[in-house]
Amino acid sequence: MGHKTAMQERDLNSVFHPMTDMSRLNQDGPLMVVRGEGVYVYDEEDRQYIDGLAGLWCTSLGYANEEIAETAFAQMKTLSYAHLFLDKSSDIAVRLAEQLKEMVPGGFSKVFFGLSGSDANDTQVKLIRYYNNVIGRPQKKKIIGRYKGYHGIAGTAASATGHEAYHKGFDLPLEGFLHTDCPHYYRNALAGESEEQFTSRLAKNLEDLILKEGPETVAAFIAEPIMGAGGVIVPPDSYFPKIQAILKDYDVLFIADEVVTGFGRTGNPFGADTFDLKPDTMTLAKSLTSAYMPLSAVMIPEFIYQAILEASQDWGIFGHGFTYTGHPVSVAVGSKVLEIYKRDKVFEKAARLGEQFQAKLKSYENHPLVGEVRGKGLIGACELVANKESGLAFDTTSGVGRYCLERMRAHGLIARALGDSMCLCPPLVTSDDEVGEIFVRYGKALDETLDYVSREGLLVA
Ligand code: PLP
């Protein structure tokens, strides 16, 4: 056990940490973050870190934004709580729903508010179940996610998530959740397979799965335009056109999970713009409030709304919603954040900065430890490998990604290691100089990791 500060000891004695290896945390202690400003966070000893992952892919406008803080304070004084159940509404919830309808591509009809990406994806599943029930297709219920897809941790969302670590020990996935291929060409292509052949094979696999299950039983397919928590997996350009054609052929709804890719992250306002997606519904969270308050949104198309409206005479209430659906402080903050995105041309500036970011990331392509560089806009990753030529991955127990992450932290950069993929997703408001600084620190850590794996004999000839 290393030395712990008093605060770290108190943490370990009182906080049950999410998504955490408890024994490792007990050994190392948590990084106590106590303050944030701009793109920087500070620990209890006032050490400064660039937040290269925007919190958990969410703090798009950075920390300590006065305008947002004042909005929250003013809303708390005006109306600290309101709900949307039954016959109630609030002016501020209406305003945000209107802003979203205007901003989000796809011509959605209504907006349902939740508090997290997980509950929004749970809403998606329930909404689609309900829709199929009221239109008389009670057997059309199965949901197809993808391996490495991440949709949150509530029971249904975790079931759509395609990673064993989020299923093991929780008796998940629930019945009726299936998974299809991860569109990671670098890792999953067969020997000699072109990108075109790869995406055709994946589309065929999806079609075969739908046919095997029976199209009349498959309700929806859920996908992130770019997988974030899967390790920043960018699909080949030909992937989504082929997948969308299959979904159309078998009347399977497409849920676009834009929790990470929404709001300017991929060089366009939404991932749907970047990949020309035509989803039936969309999930939004995180940057919807730049993480100043918890808030999520499900974008609902007219045909689903109409079906539920018509059915309500027989079915009665749509029995789904949260105490905090449309919480006034959350929606007021969301509304202000969208106003700032538009007024300050945040997405346009982020797109320009994204070009610089991608060029810097690409400069590591020749680094001896880097097998693949991938990303779009202001999200990206380098995947570290044991053999650059063959792309052979490090043994999963070797902890190379973790070592590299620790070196980044030592240089004052917070990133994320997903396996051995070193992920970055900085705030959209990062400056040119700050992007430069991120990569100075990132590069130092890569070099030190190369020394480490060489010393430890972890590279495979
Ligand atoms: N969907 C995606 C694509 C995500 O990346 C996440 C979280 O990282 C979620 C859903 C779940 O969001 P939350 O953690 O707010 O429940």
Ligand 1 centre distance from Cα of residue 410 (Å): 27
Nearest CA residue ID for atom 13, ligand 1? 117
The CB of 198 under 6 Å from ligand 1? The reply is no
Q: Quote the CA–CA distance of 420 and 438 in Å, as a whole number.
A: 18
pLDDT of 201 reads 98
Q: Rounded to whole angstroms, how far apart are CA atoms 120 and 152?
A: 9
The predicted structure's pLDDT at residue 3: 87
Paired tokens of 235: 């699909």
User: Residue 333: which residues within 8 A CB-CB, separation 6 or more?
Assistant: 68, 71, 72, 75, 289, 292, 293, 295
Beta strand residue intervals within 385-452, DSSP E:
413-414, 416-418, 421-424
Q: How far apart are CA 356 and CA 452, in angstroms?
A: 29
Using only C-alpha atoms, the chain has a radius of gyration, in whole angstroms, of: 22
Closest-CA residue to 325 (of 119, 79, 99, 70): 119
- Two tokens at 293? 């308050």
Do 275 and 240 contact (CB within 8 A), yes or no?
yes
- Say how far apart CA 245 and CA 426 lie, in whole Å: 34
59, 163, 260, 261: residue to mutate for ligand 1 pocket, most atoms within 8 A of CB: 260
Closest Cα to residue 154, out of 285, 61, 57, 60?
285
Residues 318-339 as b/e (b if ≥16 CB within 10 A, e otherwise) read: eeebbebbbbbbbbbbbbbbbe
Q: How far is the CA of 310 from the centre of ligand 1 (A)?
A: 32
Backbone torsions φ then ψ of 164, nearest 5 degrees: -60, -35
260 touches ligand 1 (CB under 6 Å)? yes
pLDDT in tens, 95-145: 999 999 999 999 999 999 999 999 999 999 999 999 999 999 999 999 999
Question: Which residue minimizes the CA distance to atom 12 of ligand 1?
Answer: 117
* Predicted local confidence at residue 1, as pLDDT: 52
Give every CB contact of residue 179 below 8 A, 6+ residues apart in sequence: 144, 145, 146, 147, 149, 162, 173
* Ligand 1 nearest-atom number relative to CA 117: 12
Rounded CA-CA distance 84/96 in Å is 13
Separation of alpha carbons 451 and 444, rounded Å: 11
284 lines ligand 1 (CB under 6 A): no
Cβ proximity of 140 and 218 under 8 Å: yes
Q: Does 259 contact ligand 1 (Cβ within 6 A)?
A: yes
Q: DSSP letter string over 204-251?
A: HHHHHHHHHH-GGGEEEEEE-SSBSTTT-BPPPTTHHHHHHHHHHHTT
Q: H or E element: which one contains 43?
A: strand 40-43
Instruction: Give me the residues of the chain with pLDDT under 50, please.
Output: none
Q: Rounded to the nearest whole angstrom, what is the distance from the C-alpha of residue 117 to the centroid of ligand 1?
A: 4
- Distance, CA of 39 to CA of 34 (rounded, Å): 14
Residue 221's nearest CA partner among 293, 145, 276, 162 is 145
Strands (E), 352-458: 370-376, 379-384, 413-414, 416-418, 421-424
Question: What per-residue confidence (pLDDT) applies to 115?
Answer: 98
3-class DSSP state of 418: strand
